[in-house]
Amino acid sequence: MTETAATLLRTAAELDAYTPAEGRAERAVVMTMGALHEGHASLIRTARDLAGPAGQVVVTVFVNPLQFGEAADLDRYPRTLDADLAVAGAAGADVVFAPSVDEVYPGGEPQVRISAGPMGERLEGASRPGHFDGMLTVVAKLLHLTRPGLAFFGQKDAQQLALIRRMVRDLNFPVEIVGVETAREPDGLALSSRNRFLDPHERHTALALSRALFAARDRLAAQQALHARAQSAGATEGRAAGLTRLGEARLAADAQAVARARPDAGPATVRAAARAVLDDAAAEQPPLALDYLALVDPADFTEIPDDRTAGEAVLAVAARVGATRLIDNIPLTFGAPA
């Protein structure tokens, strides 16, 4: 791993000249909008590991105007290129490709764009119309410009990751998309460039996002453990009633909980556990203003019904604390063994 700043390249011609054509199959790319933090460094380190010592790791830094609904948000987004070069180099990147808007969109905004389709209109897409069309358009352009064999994206932006995978599959891009686990602060807050806008009181409130997700995960794990006990012990309501008659109230309550543990109560239980934490945070000062809490299928981000008994899911949350909008999510598996 290098301990120096990565090489800065500004144009596609410079990037093409940096690596011979025969080396492109070994290129890995990490796409960012800059303001790099430990979450980005984790992506870069993973890219370095999988690309191997002979491969080339390229980090793109481009604040994409097509992803911003308001000019004020675009202007507010932090630009820290000098620091980004150091972070990228220390994490193992060879190159930082930081093109200008004119380099990526010569002649102005593109008239032909990628459409995110129905998945792009849900959750984040409903809150930020057009955001995912702009995101996919720039990802497609950067994939063409960098021509990697591997591209790495964080699972914190789970809907974005799902859409990129769908675009690559539907449009036959010759690249493998690799999702990397969400990086978090020691207190659980998901790492984000937006965290720097939180004052200490807002940051305390913002911790409710990760606490809600962890509460839901822990409730599901506890329920699945109870259900496993019920299956292995053959627990019944009759046993609980018998313990009650014997005056064993505590054991009776435990037996009743085991007997009533059902896998099909999972989605409702998960939502309720997360909602309780978020409701408490809404009464904090400053309050948490919930945008959405959704338990969705990771394939298309449609809501999972309460009668789902098995399969993968993503529990996603978005909220505002003060003027800062934050998102977080956690993967869950229903029907998993305890």
Residues serving a catalytic function are 40
The residue type found at 121 is E
Query: What is the per-residue DSSP string for 131-161?
Result: HHHHHHHHHHHHHHHH--SEEEEEGGGHHHH
Tokens encoding 295: 């338990």
Tell me whether residue 122 is exposed, middle or buried, using C-beta atoms within 10 angstroms of its C-beta: 0 to 12, 13 to 18, 19 or more.
Answer: buried
Angstrom distances, CA of residue 237 to CA of 222, 241, 253, 260: 19, 6, 10, 8
Closest CA to 211 of 150, 279, 313: 279
- Can you tell me the distance from the alpha carbon of 126 to that of 39, in angstroms, rounded to the nearest whole number? 26
Helix (H), strand (E) counts: the chain: 12, 9
Under 8 Å between Cβ of 69 and 133: no
Q: Provide the token pair at 332.
A: 């869950």
CB 334 within 8 A of CB 310: yes
Q: At what angle do helices 200-233 and 249-260 cross, to 10 degrees?
A: 90
Structure tokens at 303: 């809501």
DSSP code for 55: S
User: What is the rounded CA–CA span in Å between residue 261 and residue 335?
Assistant: 12
> Are 309 and 336 a contacting pair, CB within 8 Å?
no
Burial (CB < 10 A; 0-12, 13-18, 19+), residue 336, is middle
**Of 129, 35, 29, 142, whose CA–CA distance to 82 is shortest?**
35
